[in-house]
Amino acid sequence: MRIFKLETFGTEFVCFVKATADTGDIGWGQLSTYNADITADVFHRQIAPHALGTDALDLEDTLNLIAEREHKYPGSYLRRAMAGLDTALWDLRGRLEGKPVVSLLGGVPGPLRAYASSMKRDITPEAEAARLCRLRDEHGFTAFKWRVGAECGRDRDEWPGRTEAVIPIVSNALGDGIDKLVDANSGFSTARAIEVGRMLEDQGIGHFESLAPIGRSTRPQRSATRCRSTWPGASRIAN
């Protein structure tokens, strides 16, 4: 069974992938979110040309092949697009076998616990606490993640004192029996991250995400002009 057609359907924010095999079997997957339209271009230029015609049931080999052919593009640039193929082919296999993907991976289907994530920084600690408590009471969430620092803020807070305030105010408002997480979105230096970590310890907050920026690569990047799909949103095997 060979991969015959790869299509994308998306916006700037989200993008789905439809993989069609030469048997007509299909699978749906998803590219990574944010700038998904750009990732779709990467998908059609640097993923699909290598994947088309490969064994739809030998995903591992195809992903290795793509990584080898695009070895100048390590990291998330390529992986954000590879995710669309990866998830689509798992879905295709699940449909063929009549099983959920979790079963193919050796797991058991069941309820999945979710946490509520704030996604906001331009909100006062008091308003944030009220908003998250409302979600707790109305929807029954038992875990919450909120924002500290400023995104890639180099230790400058969203406004002075917000981090010191938002940690205890939200934590105390949510109360006991709730798992508490915070995300700094690369806002801190190591020294500041340790300071903030101590505040989190004091509040029993057990998850501190994206403390400091990931180091920049010094490897030079270059653009590539490769096979273009025949129309935006699709790549096909050329017959």
What does R_g of the chain's alpha carbons equal in angstroms? Answer: 22
Applying CB under 5 A, the span of 96-104, 169-177, 207-215, 223-231 interacting with Mg ion comes to 207-215
We find the least distance from the C-beta atom of residue 110 to Mg ion, in angstroms, to be 25
Q: Residue 70 interacts with Mg ion (CB under 5 A)? A: no
We find the least distance from the C-beta atom of residue 227 to Mg ion, in angstroms, to be 34
Give the phi and the psi of residue 19 in degrees, each rounded to 5.
-105, 130
DSSP E strands: which ranges in 95-199? 116-117, 143-147, 179-183
Q: Residue 188 interacts with Mg ion (CB under 5 A)? A: no
Q: Rank residues 35 and 210 by Cβ distance to Mg ion and give the closer one.
A: 210
CA dihedral of 117, 123, 127, 130, whole degrees rounded to 10? 0
Applying CB under 5 A, the span of 11-19, 68-76, 189-197, 204-212 interacting with Mg ion comes to 204-212
Count of chain residues binding Mg ion (CB under 5 A): 3
- Residue 2, classed as helix, strand or coil, is strand
We find the least distance from the C-beta atom of residue 184 to Mg ion, in angstroms, to be 9
Nearest to 40 by CA among 66, 69, 7, 3: 7
Q: Residue 183 interacts with Mg ion (CB under 5 A)? A: yes
Footprint of Mg ion (CB under 5 A): 183, 209-210
